[in-house]
Amino acid sequence: MKLYNILAIIFTACFILIACKKEETKITPVCDGSSPTYESFVQGLIASKCASCHDYSTYAKLSVVINNGQFKSQVLDNQTMPQGSNLSESELNKLQCWVDNNYPEN
């Protein structure tokens, strides 16, 4: 088989794999009217979804990424966190309420 044919097969296979990749849809979080706080909701969610990679066991530790905008950007806007897991629409909506209410601690 000629090199050209081999390259054409490889290119076609790559194209098919890329074209068939499932497009992930992002949820647009909307506050559900709840009033979650760090202590009542966020702390437990972080313990179950984020603790394997991050130590946000206290509000003070989480406040660093709250204040620099990374929490909202990565969790709600880009939905790149938590890695290896997804938050449900309900969880995202509650987090949106928490953000809208200026991240109350308790």
Angle at 65 between CA 106 and CA 57, to 5 degrees: 50
pLDDT tens digits, 20-39: 444 468 899 999 999 999 99
Contact 42/95 with Cβ under 8 angstroms? yes
Q: How do the domains of the chain map onto residue ranges? A: 27-100
Whether residue 10 is predicted with pLDDT greater than 90 in this model: the reply is: no
Higher per-residue pLDDT: 51 or 105? 105
CA distances 95 to 42, 59, 83, Å, are 7, 15, 17
Query: What is the Cα–Cα distance from 6 to 85, expressed in whole angstroms?
Result: 38
Average pLDDT, the chain: 86
pLDDT tens digits, 36-79: 999 999 999 999 999 889 999 999 999 999 999 999 999 999 99
Query: What's this model's pTM, rounded to 2 decimal places?
Result: 0.76
